[in-house]
């Protein structure tokens, strides 16, 4: 029955969208990574600030420790362990040319766990990222490879799961492979915005965007649901449109992303959005397909029909004139159709009244901007050609000891669409004269975020401090001369406590390195970035001879050494009874 239901929904979505996904991707080759009913807290391709969501976030009932299984036979090709990002991550390459990825794991299992532990001890570090030779760690379909967790920057226990092309790491919507998730709830259209495409366009008599929020359908005694209000704005001049839409399911009522959006004008398909696949190097172009300034203000991700001329095309596809419309005078019917990947569908039809003459849309320039190298007395920026989505140039302004980097046409740098890739920012070392006296390594470039300073990874020479920002904004030099603090657990009893938890506090640049030694021998310590905790599992009596051991007689000395990104170091010895 489950197979029939899955096939029916794939066929339904194919008929609705014309997308032959069942023919493009193998069905039933991959099994589920978990042996529980799958429910998603985040779908593939969700529109977020600075990135598309690259996989499926599978809920684990707010718990960690569920067995995670290899979805098909293959070999472990890469392992990454970090206190941030995806936390503990496992990559498995499969014979059919795809790669499965499992993130936010609590622990690895079996031979993989042993390999990871041996690697960490041989390299004297907890965090690492390494490729593994084919065949060294082979796995079979359904073999337990890990336990689900909450590691890295995860906001709660879940498994982040991806399927990618193994030859180029391009990620794909895993549900296109027949990974079944029961969902019969259609998406919701929450709002529509109509935007003037140039300074002469009027929307309901104003030169500003018009937002129409769609009321939620409410049950009444007389009828199950009341349709949303009718839209009928008046438009004079070229315009484009944005939609704010989310998806839910029976088991999860949060706001997930949708699979496909279609816009028709007078029954002609003029735009579609589809979250099927994307390259990671194009992920930040999500900022170019949504109303980024409005998202910063409201957290409503309006997906726009217009595209910026130099943004990589991923999920957003206008069919003409870069998603800008100029219609003949008169009434026109517009219809949005929104689908989730199970074929559940919702639509909204509305009309617009266009006035004046139909205007020809001028073609966008096709030549990319050139590399920009801008210099002032105190600042230099080196901007690659692929940074900008439009032909607009950047500018450097100064305010006191602050340097402001922004596009030339930006009204407010806080809401400027971020660059596609990082650029190089250099601030002259003479700016450090305004700071308290300290060593150069204790000086960093920082970005102002309201009243808060956010430090950037900084290098320095005699002339310059250098960083690689991924945003525009206001930058300055800041110092960090305070070493981290180490707060031990209340009890340091080696006999009774197998895991010791130390709290690490740092006031600015953040923890950079940490090393622990038990009776003079390096011992593995795991750093949890969310809780700023250092976890040390004390060895058992049967620990390998080449690993640290607890002394059965006398004191055991645990040395903890931590350093921040500016090289400020704290070292403390603790006696274990």
Strand partners, 91: 78, 101
**Are 414 and 456 contacting, i.e. CB atoms less than 8 angstroms apart?**
no
Q: Which two tokens stand for residue 188?
A: 């919701």
Q: What kind of architecture, by CATH, is found in domain 188-355?
A: Distorted Sandwich (2.70)
SS3 118: helix
**What is the pTM assigned to this prediction?**
0.91
Q: What is the pLDDT of residues 126-144, one digit of tens each?
A: 999 999 999 899 999 999 9
Asked whether residue 103 carries a pLDDT value surpassing 80, the answer given is yes
Which CATH superfamily, name and number, covers 485-576?
Answer: Immunoglobulins (2.60.40.10)
**Are 130 and 115 contacting, i.e. CB atoms less than 8 angstroms apart?**
no
Looking at residue 365, its pLDDT comes to 59
Distance between first and last Cα of the chain: 61
Q: Which of 282, 257, 317 is nearest to 47 (CA)?
A: 257
Q: Which two tokens stand for residue 102?
A: 């499992």
Checking DSSP bridges between strand 98-108 and strand 47-48, what pairing results, if any?
Answer: unpaired
- E strands in 302-366: 303-304, 316-318, 330-339, 345-355
Looking at residue 346, its pLDDT comes to 96
Q: How far is the CA of 461 from the CAs of 336, 416, 427, 441, in angstroms? A: 55, 30, 11, 10
HSE (CB half, 13 Å, CA atoms) of 28?
6
| Mean pLDDT within 476-481 | 97
Q: Which two tokens stand for residue 439?
A: 């060593």
Strand partners, 383: 372
Q: Which of 339, 417, 407, 264 is nearest to 9 (CA)?
A: 339
What backbone torsions phi and psi does residue 409 show, to the nearest 5 degrees?
A: -100, 15
Q: What is the pLDDT of residues 274-290, one digit of tens each?
A: 999 999 999 999 999 99
Domain locations along the chain: 2-177, 188-355, 372-479, 485-576
Q: Hey, how many other C-beta atoms are within 10 angstroms of the C-beta on 410?
A: 18
Residues contacting residue 342 through CB under 8 Å, at least 6 positions apart: 9, 13, 181, 183, 184
Q: Which two tokens stand for residue 182?
A: 């029961």
Cα separation, 36 vs 183, in Å, equals 15
292 Rama class: left (phi>0) / alpha (psi -120 to 50) / beta: alpha
DSSP summary character for residue 149? B
Q: What is the pLDDT of residues 494-517, one digit of tens each?
A: 555 678 999 999 999 999 999 999
Q: Which two tokens stand for residue 532?
A: 């700023």
| Mean pLDDT within 306-322 | 90
Task: Classify domain 2-177 at the CATH topology level.
Answer: Glucose Permease (Domain IIA) (2.70.70)
Looking at residue 496, its pLDDT comes to 53
Asked whether residue 231 carries a pLDDT value surpassing 90, the answer given is no
Residues above pLDDT 90, as percent of the chain: 75
Looking at residue 154, its pLDDT comes to 94
Residue-averaged pLDDT of the chain = 90
Asked whether residue 199 carries a pLDDT value surpassing 80, the answer given is yes
Asked whether residue 146 carries a pLDDT value surpassing 90, the answer given is yes
| Cα 109 to the center of its chain, rounded Å | 27
Looking at residue 494, its pLDDT comes to 55
């Amino acid at each position: 029955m489950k197979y029939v239901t899955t096939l029916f929904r794939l066929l339904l979505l194919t008929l609705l969208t014309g997308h032959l996904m069942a023919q493009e991707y193998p069905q039933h080759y991959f099994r589920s990574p978990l042996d529980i009913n799958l429910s998603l807290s985040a779908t593939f391709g969700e529109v977020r600030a600075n990135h598309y969501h690259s996989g499926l976030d599978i809920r684990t009932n707010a718990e960690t420790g569920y067995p995670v299984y290899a979805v098909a036979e293959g070999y472990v090709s890469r392992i990454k362990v970090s206190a941030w990002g995806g936390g503990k991550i496992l990559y498995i390459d499969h014979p059919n040319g795809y790669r499965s990825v499992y993130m936010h794991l609590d622990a690895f299992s079996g031979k993989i766990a042993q390999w990871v532990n041996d690697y960490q001890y041989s390299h004297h570090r907890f965090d690492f990222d390494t490729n593994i030779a084919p065949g060294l760690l082979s796995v079979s379909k359904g073999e337990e490879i890990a336990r689900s967790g909450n590691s890295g920057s995860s906001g709660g226990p879940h498994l982040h799961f991806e399927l990618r092309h193994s030859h180029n790491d391009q990620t794909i919507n895993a549900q296109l492979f027949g990974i079944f998730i029961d969902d019969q709830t259609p998406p919701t259209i929450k709002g529509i915005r109509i935007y003037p495409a140039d300074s002469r366009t009027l929307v309901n008599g104003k030169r500003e965007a018009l937002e129409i929020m769609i009321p939620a359908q409410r049950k009444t005694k007389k009828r199950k649901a009341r349709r949303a209000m009718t839209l009928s704005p008046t438009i004079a001049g070229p315009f484009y449109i944005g939609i704010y839409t989310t998806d839910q399911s029976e088991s999860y009522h949060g706001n997930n992303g949708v699979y496909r959006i279609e816009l028709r004008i007078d029954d002609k398909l003029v735009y579609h959005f589809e979250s099927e696949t994307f390259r990671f190097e194009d992920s930040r172009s999500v900022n170019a397909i949504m109303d980024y300034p409005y998202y910063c203000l409201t957290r409503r991700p309006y997906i726009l029909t217009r595209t910026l001329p130099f943004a990589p095309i991923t999920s957003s596809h206008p069919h003409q004139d870069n998603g800008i419309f100029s219609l003949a005078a008169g009434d026109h019917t517009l219809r949005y159709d929104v689908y989730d990947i199970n074929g559940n569908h919702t639509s909204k039809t509305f009309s617009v009244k266009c006035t004046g003459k139909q205007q020809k849309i001028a073609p966008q320039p096709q030549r990319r901007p050139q590399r920009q190298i801008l210099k002032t007395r105190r600042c230099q920026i080196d901007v690659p050609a692929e940074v900008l989505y439009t032909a607009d140039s950047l500018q450097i302004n100064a305010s006191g000891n602050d340097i402001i980097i922004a596009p030339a046409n930006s009204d407010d740098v806080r809401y400027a669409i971020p660059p596609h890739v990082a650029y190089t920012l250099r601030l002259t070392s003479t700016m450090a004269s305004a700071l308290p006296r300290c060593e150069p390594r204790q000086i960093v470039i920082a970005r102002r975020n309201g009243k808060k300073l956010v430090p950037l990874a900084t290098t320095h020479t005699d002339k310059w401090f250098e960083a690689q920002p991924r945003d525009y904004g206001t930058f300055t030099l800041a110092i960090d001369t305070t070493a981290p603090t180490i707060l031990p657990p209340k009890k340091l009893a080696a006999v009774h406590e197998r895991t010791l938890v130390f709290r690490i506090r740092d006031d600015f640049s953040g923890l950079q390195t940490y090393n622990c030694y038990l009776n003079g021998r390096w011992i593995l310590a795991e750093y949890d970035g969310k809780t700023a905790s250092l976890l040390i599992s004390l060895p058992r009596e049967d620990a390998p001879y080449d690993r640290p051991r607890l002394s059965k007689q006398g004191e055991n000395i645990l040395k903890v050494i931590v350093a921040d990104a500016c090289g400020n170091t704290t070292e403390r010895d603790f006696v274990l009874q």
